[in-house]
């Protein structure tokens, strides 16, 4: 039955995460951006919340709690409302863990899931984006040749989140008959990791470039084993997750602009009383509402195990455009103050611009 009502648990998650993000993430956002790094303690402090581990079955050492994509979307919105870059970093390990959880063989689950159920923050990353223009997740230039004893991967990947500290990479590559995902150890022969890449936004989050020169992968390290996996499903999940982050970011911009515009005086009254500003705030709000519904819809589609390719694409198309529009107009509302780094809006704009063009940076 069609319903927009959160469960009590979801409301609880929303409230706790909102508070946590406000107190623990927002205050560090600017500093991490200026220093282009995130202190380990910070990552650890969030790790202790168990965002990744709790949803892993007990059999693999996890908290065995039910996983709801919708709840996770709500959680991501709130974390990003605190700080989008930090939010991206703290949930990064789930990219890898969830892919294994959803599509790994029993052996793969046994081998990799326990890594994420430890005390210490543990990173492993998806490698989807490729260098060069017009990179498409399902049309990778990276190739996986079948060899009698497994696979040989050649190509390059870019924007691999936390690639500098990841123990493993899940690399998407083209095979004879489609697209596959392959698990690589960071020490694999022929794999060169260059980190950190320098990006426009999300500076705190280190991303790496991977160069693969005929890297050998054993057949059991192909995600899903013999049968392979549905890379599209991984892409859909990450698209919706990124949309949830961009939604939280947009709300942060709007909520920053509201009090600012009420304080800021021009032509003898607060600029918030000018229709050009007031209407823009109204449109920012309209878009936040619209974005959230698209995110929820795609997330619930994933939650119900249906193919979410269309829903995820519609959400991505809409949210990418509108979230950047909101951030860009946030700068305009602040005028000169929107352009200087004493206010967070220019930073959120860079984050939005960055997050809206990459793929596979987060997961539900």
Could you list the residues that contact a copy of itself (CB under 8 A)? 274-276, 279
Smallest gap from Cβ 266 to a copy of itself, in A, equals 12
- The least CB distance from residue 342 to another protein, in Å, is 7
Nearer to a copy of itself, 141 or 273 (CB): 273
Q: For 337, what's the count of Cα atoms within 13 Å in the CB-facing half-sphere?
A: 11
User: Token pair for residue 323?
Assistant: 């979230």
Residue among 105 and 125 whose Cβ is closer to another protein: 125
Shortest distance in whole angstroms from residue 279 CB to a copy of itself: 6
When the beta carbons of 4 and 267 are compared against a copy of itself, the nearer one is: 267
Residue with tokens 């949830």: 244
- Selection from a copy of itself, another protein, none that 189 binds (CB < 5 to 8 A by kind) is none
Q: What is the DSSP string of 253-310?
A: HHHHHHHHHHH-EETTEEGGGSHHHHHHHHHHHHHHHHHHHHHHHHHHHHHTT---HH
> What, of another protein, a copy of itself, none, does residue 364 touch, CB below 5 to 8 Å by kind?
none
Give the shortest CB-150-to-another protein separation in angstroms. Answer: 27
Residue closer to a copy of itself, measured from CB, 147 or 262 = 262
Tell me whether residue 5 is exposed, middle or buried, using C-beta atoms within 10 angstroms of its C-beta: 0 to 12, 13 to 18, 19 or more.
exposed
Cα–Cα distance, 361 to 85 (Å, whole number): 11
Q: Which is nearer to a copy of itself, 44 or 279 (CB)?
A: 279
Instruction: For the CB of residue 356, give the shortest distance to another protein in the complex, in Å.
Output: 8
The C-alpha atoms of residue 294 and residue 300 are separated, in whole angstroms, by 10
* Closer residue to a copy of itself (CB): 279 or 339: 279
At its nearest, how many Å lie between a copy of itself and the CB of residue 276? 4
How are beta strands 207-218 and 265-266 bridged, if at all? unpaired
- The CA-atom distances, in angstroms, between 205 and each of 50, 76, 91, 197, 287 are 20, 16, 11, 10, 27
Structure tokens at 212: 């693969």
Look at residue 129 and give the partner it binds from a copy of itself, another protein, none, a contact being a CB closer than 5 to 8 Å depending on partner kind. another protein
- Output the six-digit token pair for 73: 């979307």
Q: Which two tokens mark 15?
A: 């409230």
Structure tokens at 11: 């409301």
């Amino acid at each position: 039955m069609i319903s927009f009502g959160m469960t009590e648990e979801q409301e609880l998650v929303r409230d706790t995460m909102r508070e946590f993000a406000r107190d623990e993430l927002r205050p560090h956002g600017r500093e991490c951006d200026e220093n282009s790094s995130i202190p380990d303690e910070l990552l650890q402090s969030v790790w202790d919340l168990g965002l990744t581990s709790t949803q892993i079955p007990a059999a693999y050492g996890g908290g065995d709690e039910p996983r709801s994509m919708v709840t996770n979307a709500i959680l991501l919105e709130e974390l990003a409302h605190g700080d989008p870059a930090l939010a991206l970093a703290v949930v990064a390990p789930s990219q890898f863990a969830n892919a294994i959880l959803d599509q790994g063989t029993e052996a793969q689950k046994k081998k990799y899931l326990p890594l994420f159920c430890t005390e210490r923050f543990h990173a492993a990353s998806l490698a989807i984006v490729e260098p060069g223009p017009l990179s498409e997740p399902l049309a990778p230039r990276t190739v996986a040749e079948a060899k009698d004893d497994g696979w040989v991967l050649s190509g390059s990947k870019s924007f691999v989140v936390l690639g500098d500290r990841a123990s493993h990479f899940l690399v998407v590559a083209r095979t004879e008959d489609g697209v596959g995902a392959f698990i690589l150890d960071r020490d694999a022969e022929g794999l060169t990791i260059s980190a950190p890449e320098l990006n426009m936004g999300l500076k705190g989050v280190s991303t790496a470039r991977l160069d693969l020169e005929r890297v050998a992968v054993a057949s059991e390290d192909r995600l899903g084993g013999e049968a392979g996996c549905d890379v599209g499903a991984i892409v859909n999940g990450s698209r919706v997750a990124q949309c949830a982050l961009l939604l939280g970011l947009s709300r942060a911009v709007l909520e920053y602009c509201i009090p600012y515009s009420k304080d800021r005086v021009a032509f003898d009254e607060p600029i918030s009383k000018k229709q050009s500003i007031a209407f823009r705030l109204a449109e920012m709000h309209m878009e936040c509402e619209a974005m959230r519904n698209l995110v929820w819809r795609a997330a619930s589609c994933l939650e119900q195990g249906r193919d979410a390719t269309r829903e995820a694409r519609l959400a991505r198309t809409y949210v990418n455009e509108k979230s950047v529009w909101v951030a860009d107009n946030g700068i305009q509302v602040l005028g000169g103050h929107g352009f200087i780094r004493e206010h967070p809006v220019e930073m959120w704009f860079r984050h939005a611009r960055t997050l809206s063009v990459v793929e596979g940076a987060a997961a539900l």
